[in-house]
Amino acid sequence: MKIALIGANGQLGSDLAKVLPARGHDLVPLTHAQVEVTDAASVAAMMQEHEPELVLNMAAFHKVDVCEEEVEQTFAVNVYGVRNLALACRAHGATLAHMSTDYVFGGDKARTAPYVETDAPAPINVYGVSKLAGEQFVRYLLERYFIFRVTGLYGVAGSSGKGGNFVELMLRLARAGKDIRVVDDQRMTPTYTVDLAQQIAAVIEMERYGLYHATSQGDCTWYEFAAEIFRQSGLHPNLGRAKTGDFGEKATRPAYSVLENRALQGMGMDVMRPWQEALGAYLEERG
């Protein structure tokens, strides 16, 4: 399959750029400099030049606290950029695979069970609202689409604009001898981007269109994630618990945003491993 990968140099995009050619796909890796999703003409030119059968969209404005202040830019990328891609895919008869987030949920403060694909979204911050609106454009404009909701991503390439990823931040602080405080009242699932790239590839190859939750198995708080990072790395920093709001974040975060891969499980296609095992694989990969 000929696939245009937008955001090929990002954290997840970098792993997809390795996984997809290895599975026999004709990959067109594209960076922000090569296609600007907020510019419909740029998107149209990309489609005209490469004529992909499928477009994989990794482009997103994902700095959650910044989104609260830069609402127009957030919507330009996460909503209208997605609309531009969906319209271009429809015009060229291509499929769109789009990345979304656990942050489309969060409004149910009493939640203790993982969210499934049929649960009603209720975002509580600008980022989540924008990602949900992007989803709606995809579903309204296209018949052939994939939407993957993901959470807690970390990969060797690191996250653009975030100075790496959470694992690297924890390791860096520990090795510098810093006291570390991590929130213990936000529950999610850390997800290794190598595993996610393999999962995405498997789904798009089956051409089973629709909405999917795709995360590692299990869940934890960010504090518990940090503790496991240090345990597997043989580090023993002074690690303390913090609460949401202790660091003056502008955006409200969900207390519980765990996703269940119910659609994948129903098709017998869930290849995601437990998050602790995936973390071990990441630490081995990075060396």
Beta strands in 145-234 (DSSP E): 145-150, 153-154, 180-183, 187-188, 191-192, 210-213, 220-221
Give the residue-averaged pLDDT of 236-263.
96
Say which of 103, 127, 212, 223 is annotated catalytic. 127
Q: How many CA atoms lie within 13 A of 153 on its CB side?
A: 30
Q: What is the DSSP string of 1-69?
A: -EEEEETTTSHHHHHHHHHHHHTT-EEEEE-TTT--TT-HHHHHHHHHHH--SEEEE------HHHHHH
In the chain, DSSP finds a helix count (H) and a strand count (E) of 11, 12
Matching residue, tokens 């656990």 = 102
pLDDT of residue 266: 96
CA angle 224–228–231, rounded 5-degree value: 140
Give the residue-averaged pLDDT of 263-287.
94
Question: CA 154, CA 152: separation in Å to the nearest integer?
Answer: 7
pLDDT of residue 163: 59
Say which CATH topology domain 2-155+189-217+259-272 has.
Rossmann fold (3.40.50)
Joined together, the tokens standing for residue 279 give 């973390």
Question: Which 8-state DSSP code applies to residue 121?
Answer: P
pLDDT of residue 99: 98
Give the residue-averaged pLDDT of 216-234.
98
Matching residue, tokens 């018949």 = 143
Beta bridge partners of 246: none
Q: Where are the domains of the chain?
A: 2-155+189-217+259-272
For the chain, what is the mean pLDDT?
Answer: 96
Q: Residue 26 pLDDT more than 80?
A: yes
Question: CA 15, CA 60: separation in Å to the nearest integer?
Answer: 17
- pTM here is 0.96
CB 78 within 8 A of CB 57: no
CB 71 within 8 A of CB 129: no
Q: What is the pLDDT of residues 127-168, one digit of tens each?
A: 999 999 999 999 999 999 999 999 999 999 876 555 589 999
Question: CA 231, CA 113: separation in Å to the nearest integer?
Answer: 27
pLDDT of residue 159: 62
Q: What is the pLDDT of residues 3-20, one digit of tens each?
A: 999 999 999 999 999 999
Question: CA 264, CA 257: separation in Å to the nearest integer?
Answer: 18
Q: Residue 101 pLDDT more than 70?
A: yes
Q: Residue 71 pLDDT more than 60?
A: yes
Please report, rounded to a whole number, the percentage of residues in the chain having pLDDT higher than 90: 93
Is residue 127 part of the annotated active site? The answer reads yes
pLDDT of residue 161: 55
